[in-house]
Amino acid sequence: MEIQSNFVDAGGVRTHYLEAGQGRPLVLVHGGGAGADSRGNWAETIAHFARDRRVIAPDMIGFGLTDKPDPAVYLYDQPGRTTHLVDFLDALGLSDVDMVGNSMGGATAIGVALNRPELIRRLVLMGSAGLPIPERPSPQLLHNLQYDFTVEGMRRVIAGLTAPGFAPTESLVKYRFDIVDDPASRAALSAINAETRKGTLNYDEDLLRGIQHPVLVVNGKEDGVSILPRAYRFLELFPNSWGYIVPHCGHWAMIEAPDDFNQAVALFLDRAL
């Protein structure tokens, strides 16, 4: 199935997104690792779900082919990402969508659920940010926060994001390295990482308790970036939540265990509640 590459003005931000298929809309929001974008994170997921859904995967502001405002005039914080995603959904006339968010994309999806709950029907959080567990960045996360814009640095980023034994292809390493190897992308990523260190990805637990959407919390059992205690805490806080733990898997369930991930998400999205 052909995956279309499109652009739309989302609140004044020229925003790139991938789209394929027809049916109930499913929005996929990528994570914030060095070299992340919609295609690198979601290509296989799009192909799977576009068989019977309209799948849409935007590049968040500062990532991929979406605009990267100068950090001197734009603050790359979590509220800004949430605003951009809301503007994107509004620009496409979307509401009542199913949404999957990975890592920083999960925190952004949570922001949409809090600020514009009518835009989301069901929510999947995979290795999601949003809670300060652990209190300090793990060694795996530091590989990303301290990315040095080298090919070897990108290998360390990928190693930190995946379970031991995962062997990335050379094309994956090159793709993620190339996509962030320009001045605007470097400046945006540096600003994003600086804000992440301040803890701006996190939400007050009382706010999370108020989310009434059905939520599926997915986590790799060996995820060193978003560790299992965070997934368990999400399950405790969200009143209408299910959990799915993927063995032998790190932070990239959609890449490390695509069949397992796709089946779990499809079951959740299709089940009668």
Which residues are annotated as catalytic?
103, 223, 251
Written as one string, the DSSP assignment of 137-160 is --HHHHHHHT--SSHHHHHHHHHH
Cα separation, 104 vs 116, whole angstroms: 18
The number of angstroms, rounded, from the C-alpha of 126 to the middle of its chain's C-alpha atoms is 8
Nearest partner of 55 among 16, 4, 110, judged by Cα = 4
Q: What is the DSSP letter of 118?
A: G
* Range 220-239 burial, b when 16+ CB lie within 10 A, else e: bebbbbbbeebbebbeebbe
Bridge partner list, 28? 100
The answer to whether 112 and 82 are in contact (CB under 8 A) is: yes
How many residues can be counted in the chain?
273
Question: Tokens in use for 262?
Answer: 């796709």
> Taking a C-beta distance cutoff of 8 angstroms, is the pair 196, 78 a contact?
no
